[in-house]
Structure formats: C-alpha cells, structure tokens
Amino acid sequence: MSDPASVVCTRALQIAKCTSGMLPQAGQILNEVLTELAQTYDLQTNITTTTITLTGNTPNNGVGPYNLPTDYLRACSRDLTYYVSGVPRRLIQITLAQFDILINTLGVSSYPGNYATDISQQAVLANGNPVLYVYPPPLLVIPLQIRYFNLPLDIVTPETSSSIPWFPNSTYLIRRVAGELMAITGDPRADTYLGDGPQGCIGILRRWLNLQGDREDTASTIQLDARYFGAGGAAYEPSKITGGV
C-alpha cells in the first residue's frame, strides 16, 4: 500500500536532512508534484467517468456548450460513448477550428458523431467549467458517457494528513520531494535525486511508466482518423456494401 502524505513528507525531510521547520514546505512540494504528474502524463490511476445529457433544447440548436466537470483535463482516447437502442456510438474528436465551420441550422439534427472541447481560461471564466461541443446536434435526449483524466484536488495540510496520494509510487514521491528540498537548501545531492540515474526520480518514474496500468496483454494499434478511414483502413464513401464509415 502507498504511504500516507504525512509519511511521504516526513521521510523526504529526513532524507534531505532538513529541519522540522521545512515540513510545511515539503507538503507544498508534494501537492505541486502531484499536480505536475496529472497535467503531464495520461495515467490509468487518474481516470474517472462522468455522464453528460445531450439535448436539442440547449443553446445553439443543441451543439452546446455543455459543462464538463471542473476537474476535467482531457478525455481518454476514443472514450466518449452513448447508446442508441443498445447499439454503441463513439464520438470522434475535432478541433474548435473545425467545429466552427460546421453547418448548424434547423433540420441538421442527427446522432452526434464529433466533439470538440474548450478548456481555455476564457471558457472556464465564462461558463464556470471547461465545455464540450457536439455535432451534429442531437435529435433526442442522449446520455453521453465520458471517461477522462482529472486534476485531483490538493491534499489539505499534506505534511500532517493521513490521506493517501492518488499517485501510487511512494518511492518516487519521497525521492522527488527530498530532491526538491535539497535544491532549496543547496544540498549537492539534489541532482542525483532528481536526475535520470537508477535511483534518480526520472529513472524511477520511467520504469514505473513502462508498466503502469493493466494493459500488458492488450495489443497496441495505430489509430487512423475515423472520419475518413473505415474498419478496413481505407477511405470509402458509405454505400449498401461498405455501410457507414
């Protein structure tokens, strides 16, 4: 089991040979490291699921904006799904620039096939959340399941907290916090602890990332643009023979 936040901070302080007065600073560093990991890496331990109801009664003929969760960072690849009579449909991501030139008038409603997100600071200030757009506009009420990478909340007073950090590799967290403390105090060991060597943070993280998640027996494939490439890997117009793309 991973160590509580207070244990991570205390052990890092001991390794860095810092005074107890720097314990709150160790807690601040721990929260900063956890935020950096969430923002930088797509980690299986940092995935959550939400459901958004799509409906033609929303502004802009139903294309959105729909509010995403406040902790939304980015969607998992190909993981926005809804069902029509038990048949799954998956949304394909496009850019906001591509979304802006789509025709949105009465009569174009259908089953949504594309989505775009706006996670800019401007969108968050205007809506209170990151937002989602879909196209074509939905012709009925659709519960859309979204699996996404989230930004966890900071641990409150981590230096004394019994909360378990969401990142499960305590060795990395301890050595990273210790190394950051060493960098503050001018300890010459800082480069070794923060570096790419066998016991350095970068080396520890790389080894962990190589095996993170539960996908060892899952085949990896190259993802083609599903808007143009069908199951056979070639672009065909929909027909009675090929069906929809």
The predicted structure's pLDDT at residue 235: 44
DSSP character at residue 125 = H
The mean of the pLDDT values for the chain is 84
Q: What is the pTM of this model?
A: 0.79
Q: What torsion do the CA atoms of 154, 156, 3, 196 make, to the nearest 10 degrees?
A: 40
pLDDT tens digits, one per residue of 32-83: 999 999 999 988 888 999 999 998 777 788 888 899 999 999 888 878 999 9
Q: What percent of the chain has pLDDT over 70?
A: 86
The set of long-range contacts for 10-13, using a CB threshold of 8 Å and a minimum separation of 24, is 10/159, 11/174, 11/178, 12/173, 12/174, 12/175, 12/177, 12/178, 12/181, 13/178, 13/181
The predicted structure's pLDDT at residue 233: 41
pLDDT tens digits, one per residue of 174-223: 999 999 999 999 989 988 888 887 778 888 888 888 877 655 555 555 55
